[in-house]
Amino acid sequence: MEEYTDEQVAQDIFATLDSIGIVERVRLIPESDRTDDQKDELSRNERHIQLKMKKDKFVNGLTKTQADRISALALPSL
């Protein structure tokens, strides 16, 4: 199995911050007003965050603020 490097963790955290922003933005739109593209975007980005949160090294690399933002999304664990 390939090692999950600190550089990869940093890149994943950067990408996940984008996903968090997308989830937060789309969730502000009432469900009944969301387009199919927005629903797909929400689902994809929530799943991305859930998958990253399964990696201990990723979770340990988060700042408290970043972890709190993810926690506030109340995503179910995979």
Instruction: Count CB neighbours of 52 within 10 A.
Output: 19
Query: How large is the average pLDDT for residues 28-46?
Result: 98
> How does the average pLDDT of the chain come out, rounded?
97
Residues 6+ apart with CB under 8 A from 77: 50, 53, 54
Q: What does the pLDDT read at residue 78?
A: 87
Nearest-angstrom CA–CA distance, 15 and 70: 13
pLDDT of residue 67: 98
Q: What is the pLDDT of residues 66-78, one digit of tens each?
A: 999 999 999 998 8
